[in-house]
Structure 1
């Protein structure tokens, strides 16, 4: 114990010395500023509401901020001081002083009167109309602190709120919507509420044609002389508001320039337009079909201007993915004599064809490293309806760098075509969407060849037709009514028996599979609202296979429903993924995930097809275990040879504390738990004359009462380089619970020994990834 205490005391003494030594670098007369303290009503026995919160907010508004400190120490200031004055504009000394360190904040930089005025203004904005703040300084040795005294007085409430009398169209709109006012009698005077009320009224007027109105044209008069710490509030339209702001405008002409550029501006304006559905389209090159603009422009001639149609039109034109520049221009015919606007829409298309090339590197926790090359050809507006065709070809290569199968090579070749229509295409029906987001119909074809070294190969063909649409900024739907997958394996017949015997479960991977079904996904997220304390994400999926087709497909002699001599896979698959992100403070976030999946096979099938099963382990899953190595259940696979275990049921929980270290470097501490199971235990196949049978996977079946006791648990830490546009991640994890051990021996805390090389080789898992794990 003494060996540990002595170094600790030495480090502590060094830190305290470094903190004290910062002042010795000050010049004569300089005082180090250590921060501000605000005393709220120190001479009054009566406390105001949330006095601690008010004190904290006031202190946060003082300037300048003192040097950053940790437990009273100022390491960045210390680094600045010990680096000294650099003799060269570059070098380690310059970097330490100007990039890592920070110069001293001096008491002479504090403007007491300015800060007092700022704090007084804030208190008045919160209803403390009689507040007064004064400031002073306290100096001890070479350190100084600012002390502010805030005498708030009573907080005023609104006794009444009056709106303009209903005498014309503008005041009638204000009167009709006054029930939605954020100003309520009995509530505290609040300057932010006054600002929000002006914005609310402006929005109501914009929805009713008042294009030139502005929140600044509204005046909120406050009378604080009525007594009893109350105010009367009167909402009034300023007398100096211009005439154009006080009348509603209607849309006159709608001019659309679908192939606009500054170089062709004068030429396009002289063209004879195509008149279509109330729009004048100036497009001598016939770039787009006119009906495209029915889905993009929500205005009609002679209707009142409204902000909703304005925003939805702009959003649709941006989100359709066909234009690199979008601009809407509202031009008054004569704002003094008329109340009409011409709408000019200028659209600059993206290039019709583009070619992209990408190279990615991979390093997986199952000891495979490799890379993939992808080439994508994009053709836009292929049928003049803003459609997009993406044709891509990719090839990847992996090799196993350690384990019994070291040198096992794997490669894949993929070809895909995807055609996206910016509208719903539904046979025999016309479906219109009126929100700001463009609905999409997507048709996709894909072929993939996966060759797992000398073990086996998989040829898969996929065809899908479906729809994608956003209900609003939070909710997104994907529905594929038709999804077809055909998987044809290839394997050396001479090795087949040996592989099945040595790798139980591989048989299900190498079965012919014909999946015809439907899939629906729903996503909800509010992560774009970065100001929220708590953000959530939810993903739910329902997939069926063979349900409808199973009613029409005849059975073969073996009683199986087949298509092209391949058994039709029949199943229902459900999955839910819930994530919560709680901001402890601006630099610390607590992230949690709960992921559960369930698959039920019936008819021809006894378990989910391999390509639809659930997997556990890996860099985005349970990080203390190699990818696809966990389960099913308590079954233990030889991960050094071949880790490709899957299940029909999955439960996973993740918890991660994320925190900023310095600049773009972030850290994390995490714990993961979970496993996969088969709905029915794999008992293998019995031996028969001429057939030796295959081994099963004992403990692979799911039993609800045993599920929690069969969860694998791991913990670890990570470093992340978060540069906003990309995140590079390194996580190091180790198991603390192994489900394949005997029930009383599954927690392995006592076995943890970071100093043991053999333990580290057996248990430490390194995960390199792009982006956060969830």
Structure 2
């Protein structure tokens, strides 16, 4: 060990020197690579992102503390084309031989090819050039820091900078800020020349962002300017703009205080060649004109049809194809009301949400018929979208299941169906494919097929027998959707027919920050057509039964020539086990396995009839697509089976009992359950496109009445690219059972995920993640304690997956893949659960589009 330690030390020192030299490879002599910025405020080191971002020059980006992009840039040849020319002319006959073999033009083009210069250009584009310290930019940064603290109330701050060497061709910049004492607002007064808006200001003066005694802040003054402008323009002051608000400040440096004067002078109006001052006028709306099929005021005289409805004048250059109420319901500008920017914004949004017009054009003109000159005419110009739209598409695909497939879709959109801005969407879809996994006795190439049709009818209002406009107001942009769809599928699964229909209502509040959806009635019917194929699809179930049959089967007719269970005899053997005709007893572990597989077969192979109602509330604080500091909260409650139970009892419909003792309606055992979910996602923005994201989810579905379990389509699973990434989809749980089935599901789920996302370089991002969660059975027909949630003790069966992911941002979507590992595996013995899956050979690879949450 004594002999090895000096060698290791020497290698470490040599490696450090090589690493250090390689980073400054492209730094010119006499220049320095920026390694660090330090900002001290009153001798305290500041690491706050918004303050550090004031500095123009930032050190090269790092990936896991290593400047990866800088290293890639340094690997590129500086001038690959010039190097090629040097190589070409190094030997006298080299160029001549190449020209003879190719041509002069091709020899020159070879210098710009990927072989010669393309790779270096790729490295330069992917990499990042060294950030060389620029004293001019440092001085600008110094001024920006001073300006920031000035705008925060420290009017007498002082900023200095120093550039220090920290190694070979490396330097750091230190900024030192002495803030001095902050200045405070002593008094606030106002001078508003127009009496009408002076009174208007006084009515909401208590909402001012400027408070006596508060520390001076430029942001407060800017917010107050915006508040006043918004208040005035929503209360009739049509000509008011932000630049009409001015502030004067009388500063007393001896006591660090200021007296603030708010000044709003009368507006300047040009009459002829002269500017004169006029008081601001508070305007009312005297007319609201709606022009359809018109793109501008130039066409407003081209009127061929018109209508008057609720003080709205509606004109059309052709036949009026809209019921007046359908248009006026989306207009918030009303005759007799004060001019309001808010009404204009709501009107634009509501008309756009109808999806039958392009973005509306709203113009205001002074009413020439009003002698007081205090009235405005609102003209709304609407351009129709095409009444009909046909969209065909075709796609060719391949997968592990389907070697070759062709799918086609065709949709037809009919706008303004009943002249009330309704939209009808009709679509059909089909798929044919080829699979070697499906039995194919006739040797047909296309042995997989699926086809279906859907219809959706959207109403831009609440379509309900009872008026709810006092509860759900039109500024909530309510809508109703009625949909139905049918699908027929033949593939390597159980094959199925399905029918779904629903009627639902949606509305929102607070600028789409709060969204609500109420599904009054949802119907889902699934009929399995190829139940006999079950054990061919769910091979884990078959393999387990086959293992048990090898020991306990007593009927030779169940076996094939190889001694394995025939697939059409699996159910016979299960019946033998459960009826007690084999040596297995209910206390045996193998008996419980057979029972579990039997119950799962019944659940997955049975037909489903689900008639449900649900309510979903979704809240977000996200302002736009670039907002990285927000949260989403979603809660859902769903109830199924009550309507059918009531229908069967009240109308005395014929029912029959299943073998499990449940009722069947129309020959189908209907589902009955109540389900509740809560989903919370939070993002923290750390700047430089670094984000911490967290998600927590809890869901439970409780069967009752006519059901002892939850339909497969309404149950929970765990694992996969959007869940616990240490496991494949459906392979985790329930509980500590070890995911013994092909598709493991249950009716209780807990999931927690944390992911730190950071930029590697360019459009390439990475993430470190930890996922925690599992599924359990609870309050249903599963009694095995390995599968069930029995209390807080069951939380020790929460699985932990962790790993690293990479994402590439294509602007319109993000492609990602994650390398997940089983960090804590509840399927193992409790003392042997941690870190047994941290091995490259056990990597779980997950692909996905966009972020997991």
Taking the aligned partners of 2:801 and 2:118, their CA distance within structure 1 comes to 43
Deviates more, 1:169-178 or 1:544-553: 544-553
Q: 1:462 to 1:97 in 2, by over 3 A?
A: closer
Shift, 1:54, TM fit: 9.9
Shift, 1:606, TM fit: 0.7
Aligned to 1:79: 73
Deviates more, 1:89-98 or 1:166-175: 89-98
Taking the aligned partners of 1:667 and 1:402, their CA distance within structure 2 comes to 37
Aligned to 1:731: 818
Q: Give secondary structure in 2 for the equivalent of 1:675.
A: strand
Shift, 1:152, TM fit: 3.9
Aligned to 1:18: 22
- Match status 1:490 vs 2:534: no
CA deviation map 1:669-703 (0-9, x unaligned): 222232222335756xxxxxxxxxxxx97733332
- Match status 1:177 vs 2:263: no
Shift, 1:267, TM fit: 6.8
Taking the aligned partners of 2:377 and 2:817, their CA distance within structure 1 comes to 56
Aligned to 1:690: none
1:280 is aligned, of 307, 313, 321, to 313
CA contact (8 A) 2:655 2:666 kept: no
Taking the aligned partners of 1:672 and 1:69, their CA distance within structure 2 comes to 25
2:507 is aligned, of 456, 459, 469, to 469
CA deviation map 1:435-457 (0-9, x unaligned): 6452110101011234352x522
| Superposition pairs of residues 261-660 of structure 1, within 5 angstroms | 261=295, 265-266=298-299, 269-271=302-304, 273-283=306-316, 284-333=318-367, 338-357=373-392, 373-396=408-431, 412-429=450-467, 431=469, 433-434=472-473, 436-453=475-492, 456-472=494-510, 473-491=512-530, 498=570, 501=574, 503-504=597-598, 505-528=600-623, 534-554=629-649, 556=655, 558=657, 560-638=662-740, 643-660=742-759
- Match status 1:126 vs 2:152: yes
Shift, 1:518, TM fit: 1.0
Q: 1:245 to 1:271 in 2, by over 3 A?
A: farther
Q: Give secondary structure in 2 for the equivalent of 1:194.
A: helix
| Superposition pairs of residues 651-670 of structure 1, within 5 angstroms | 651-670=750-769
Aligned to 2:801: 714
Shift, 1:724, TM fit: 3.1
Taking the aligned partners of 1:30 and 1:535, their CA distance within structure 2 comes to 42
Shift, 1:351, TM fit: 1.8
- Match status 1:210 vs 2:289: no
Shift, 1:542, TM fit: 1.1
Q: 1:665 to 1:111 in 2, by over 3 A?
A: closer
Aligned to 2:96: none
Taking the aligned partners of 1:401 and 1:740, their CA distance within structure 2 comes to 33
Q: 1:55 to 1:670 in 2, by over 3 A?
A: closer
Q: Give secondary structure in 2 for the equivalent of 1:646.
A: coil
Taking the aligned partners of 2:667 and 2:170, their CA distance within structure 1 comes to 87
Q: How many residues align?
A: 736
Q: Give secondary structure in 2 for the equivalent of 1:630.
A: coil
- Match status 1:198 vs 2:225: yes
Taking the aligned partners of 2:149 and 2:240, their CA distance within structure 1 comes to 31
Shift, 1:332, TM fit: 2.4
CA contact (8 A) 2:402 2:433 kept: no
CA contact (8 A) 1:458 1:490 kept: yes
Taking the aligned partners of 1:244 and 1:4, their CA distance within structure 2 comes to 85
Taking the aligned partners of 1:323 and 1:247, their CA distance within structure 2 comes to 33
Q: Give secondary structure in 1 for the equivalent of 2:247.
A: strand
Shift, 1:658, TM fit: 1.8
Shift, 1:15, TM fit: 1.4
CA deviation map 1:329-358 (0-9, x unaligned): 112246997122221111222222223345
CA deviation map 1:66-109 (0-9, x unaligned): 65578697962883596313536773334434552326635464
1:740 is aligned, of 821, 827, 834, to 827
CA contact (8 A) 1:386 1:422 kept: yes
Q: 1:413 to 1:78 in 2, by over 3 A?
A: closer
Deviates more, 1:291-300 or 1:533-542: 533-542
Q: 1:106 to 1:492 in 2, by over 3 A?
A: closer
CA deviation map 1:468-520 (0-9, x unaligned): 11123221111111112222222356966626958540211222322222111
With normalisation by structure 1, the TM-score equals 0.84
Q: 1:408 to 1:588 in 2, by over 3 A?
A: farther
Q: 1:20 to 1:626 in 2, by over 3 A?
A: closer
More helix by share: 2
CA deviation map 1:298-328 (0-9, x unaligned): 1122321012211111111122222223211
Taking the aligned partners of 2:388 and 2:148, their CA distance within structure 1 comes to 56
Taking the aligned partners of 1:274 and 1:67, their CA distance within structure 2 comes to 66
Q: 1:380 to 1:697 in 2, by over 3 A?
A: farther
CA contact (8 A) 2:194 2:265 kept: no
Q: 1:541 to 1:667 in 2, by over 3 A?
A: same
Q: Give secondary structure in 2 for the equivalent of 1:198.
A: helix
- Match status 1:91 vs 2:136: no
Deviates more, 1:268-277 or 1:176-185: 268-277
Taking the aligned partners of 2:720 and 2:401, their CA distance within structure 1 comes to 8
With normalisation by structure 2, the TM-score equals 0.77
Shift, 1:197, TM fit: 0.7
Q: 1:496 to 1:181 in 2, by over 3 A?
A: farther
Deviates more, 1:723-732 or 1:495-504: 495-504
Q: 1:32 to 1:354 in 2, by over 3 A?
A: same
Structure 1 segments unaligned to the other structure (5+ residues): 42-46, 684-695, 755-759
Shift, 1:403, TM fit: 14
Aligned to 1:757: none
Q: Give secondary structure in 1 for the equivalent of 2:755.
A: strand
Q: 1:424 to 1:365 in 2, by over 3 A?
A: farther
Shift, 1:547, TM fit: 1.4
CA contact (8 A) 1:22 1:77 kept: no
Shift, 1:394, TM fit: 2.6
2:846 is aligned, of 756, 760, 767, to 767
CA contact (8 A) 1:674 1:713 kept: yes
Taking the aligned partners of 2:39 and 2:693, their CA distance within structure 1 comes to 35
1:157 is aligned, of 155, 170, 184, to 184
Taking the aligned partners of 1:54 and 1:743, their CA distance within structure 2 comes to 43
| Superposition pairs of residues 104-115 of structure 1, within 5 angstroms | 105=132, 107=134, 109-110=136-137, 112=139
Structure 2 segments unaligned to the other structure (5+ residues): 82-110, 270-276, 534-566, 575-593
CA contact (8 A) 1:391 1:417 kept: yes
CA contact (8 A) 1:553 1:562 kept: no
Aligned to 2:835: 749
CA deviation map 1:367-406 (0-9, x unaligned): 999785433222222222221112222345788899999x
Q: Give secondary structure in 2 for the equivalent of 1:185.
A: coil
Taking the aligned partners of 1:367 and 1:658, their CA distance within structure 2 comes to 35
CA contact (8 A) 1:363 1:768 kept: no
CA contact (8 A) 2:709 2:780 kept: no
Taking the aligned partners of 1:506 and 1:513, their CA distance within structure 2 comes to 14
Shift, 1:545, TM fit: 1.2
